[in-house]
A = this chain, B = another copy of it.
Amino acid sequence: MPDLLLRRLKTVAELSGEDEAWVTRLCAKPQARKAGEVIVQQGERPRSLFMLADGWACHSVTLSNERRQIISYLVPGDICDVHVFDLEVVDFALRTLSDASLVSVSREQLAETATRYPQVAWGLRRLTAISGATLRQWLANLGMRDAYERLAHLFCEMWFRLEAVGLTHGGTFDLPVTQEQLSEMTGLTPVHVNRVLQRMRREGLIALATRSLAIHDLEALRRIAEFDGSYLRTTAPVSSDA
């Protein structure tokens, strides 16, 4: 919880002391939210930009008949959507998956960031670009892979994203998500997710406790999913521009 947002930003951009101070100020007053709260409704006008300081959240789209798809999940250090202010209506909901802590950035603060802290702005752009890439990979995941591969891919991605913010401990990480929610992420049935998970356990790939996932054989998971994490782009940045 000690500024994971700052930590995350620093993985994608070089920040000066002033930059850091500004970011710290932006993150000054995080709001606590309970699991399962709706932070932003599909169809609302954008009020502010959210960044996730702690906990998990997700973007989702809902159809009339109760069908719901999780479009992306957010872990600590992620920003929710930099483009919010560019459209008059947001096309997806933002919901917490676990108890969470959110930082809210106003339109004005964002504008000020752009003009006075270009490195921070650049970092935000890069994070945005990364979540765009993640979305594309996910689309590919749904389109090309079967259930087994899909879940393997998901777990690989989670592993690397959480590792980047130091949220893994010895092959294990917190997974505050039900199988039903995993099914909403993967476009599968809860029942089927359950069966695939059992298979993965039987094969010694993972172990799954109530709120945490242990990865026993990351290499195997990567092979199964043909996972190439380069889209998560965690290398140090080289240069910026205006």
Residues of A bordering B, CB below 8 Å: 59, 61, 63-64, 67-69, 71, 83, 85-89, 91-92, 107, 111, 114-115, 122, 125-126, 128-130, 132-133, 135-140, 142-144, 184, 186-187, 226, 230-231, 233, 235, 237-238, 241-242
Which of A122, A136, A138, A238 has the most CB atoms of chain B within a 10 A radius of its CB? A136
Given contacts A129-B83, A242-B115, contact A139 B69 (CB under 8 A): yes
Indicate which residue in B86, B91, B114, B186 contacts A242 across the interface (CB closer than 8 Å): B114
Indicate which residue in B125, B184, B235 contacts A86 across the interface (CB closer than 8 Å): B125
A-B contact pairs, 29 of them (CB 8 A): A59-B136, A61-B137, A63-B144, A67-B144, A69-B143, A71-B139, A71-B140, A83-B128, A83-B129, A85-B241, A86-B122, A86-B125, A87-B133, A88-B233, A88-B235, A88-B237, A89-B233, A91-B133, A91-B136, A91-B231, A92-B133, A107-B241, A111-B241, A135-B136, A138-B139, A142-B143, A143-B186, A143-B187, A144-B187
Indicate which residue in B59, B68, B87, B238 contacts A130 across the interface (CB closer than 8 Å): B87
On whether the beta carbons of A233 and B87 are closer than 8 Å, the reply is yes
